[in-house]
Amino acid sequence: MRRAAVILLALCLALWGCSREAPPQAELILRYADNQPQDYPTTLAAEYFAQLVEERTQGRILIRVYSNGVLGSENSVFEQVQFGGIDFTRVSVGTLSEYCPIMEVLQLPYLYDDADHMWRVLDSSIGEDFLSQVRKNNAVGMSWFDAGARSFYTRQPVTCLEDLQGLTIRVQESSFMSRLVELLGAEPMPIAYGEVYSALQTAKIDGAENNWPSYESTGHFEAAPYFLRDEHSRLPEMQLMSTVAMDKIADVDPDYVSIVIQCARESALYERELWQQQEAESEALAVALGCQVTELSDSELELFRQAVQPIYDGYSQQIQELIRKIKES
């Protein structure tokens, strides 16, 4: 029922964005890129952001949302954001860490106790400091989106660390994620998001890792029905604005820059609500359609933590102090 409502909302927003002409008072039309479908929480939140901006600038600034990756992959989009080719986007910290290495800290394996712990960190001064880091990349970090916890799913049953040994696991285009998988004893294989299903079907890979909504919405549970809930990473996503776009907005009205950022923060709270609903629904649907979930015991989970400890050990004393603050938040 909720999914039907969400789909209806997505269709309404799409029609709202595509069926009308830009009002006469529009002075600036900007582009927002997202690689997820129209009914996905991040895309719905992007549409909500666009709606808020139009309302609060009296229609002087319009934002067009392009979903389904039509403007390129996350890496490609972020590169375009840096020189102003794209104005807004939502990017995983896994992708950002390739351009802004300090972001690696936020994707450390088993860093948070749970989702509440992560939000205590991101909604604090620590999170604000991380948002400011992307200014070095000609981008403005506006807000945080939820992307849930990532776990492994495979073509054959995996119930413990030993079962992962030697398996080929798809990872994002991220050297950090590749190393994590290697430390757990598997072989990482970077593959584009849209190619994962066929790679699972053809046994090019043995499994992948992602969150529940992505696992369910892509149908990956059909080809890899064994889900190992280890929650090795919670990868928040950052809503970004190009500094080029920021300057364009300021040219329309200097006050609009802070208004746009406030709209982004409100849309982020909306995305969190949608995410929690979608996550629960996706898990229930995948399980109903045959997905088998393995829960790790505390002792087995500790083996996973020990296996990835070298990642933590490799950081400087300064970063170690930051990690300590995160863990104690």
Q: Report the alpha-carbon distance of residue 153 to residue 271 in Å, rounded.
A: 25
Residue type, 49: F
Cβ–Cβ < 8 Å for 9, 48 = no
pTM comes to 0.84
Residues of the chain with pLDDT under 50: 1-20
Expressed in percent and rounded to 5, the helix, strand and coil fractions of the chain are 55, 20, 30
CA atoms within 13 A on the CB side of 196: 30
Q: What structural domains and CATH numbers belong to the chain?
A: 2-147+236-281 (3.40.190.170), 149-234+283-328 (3.40.190.170)
Instruction: Give 23-74 pLDDT, tens digit per residue.
Output: 567 899 999 999 888 989 999 999 999 999 999 999 999 999 999 999 998 9
Please state the φ and ψ torsions of residue 48, each to the nearest 5 degrees.
-65, -40
Q: Which residues of 150-169 are buried (b: 16+ CB within 10 A; e: fewer)?
A: bbbbbbeebeebebbeebbb
Collapse the DSSP code of 43 into the 3-class scheme (helix H, G, I; strand E, B; otherwise coil) and give the result: helix
Q: Report the alpha-carbon distance of residue 97 to residue 144 in Å, rounded.
A: 15
* Residues with Cβ within 8 Å of residue 52, at least 6 apart in sequence: 263, 266, 267
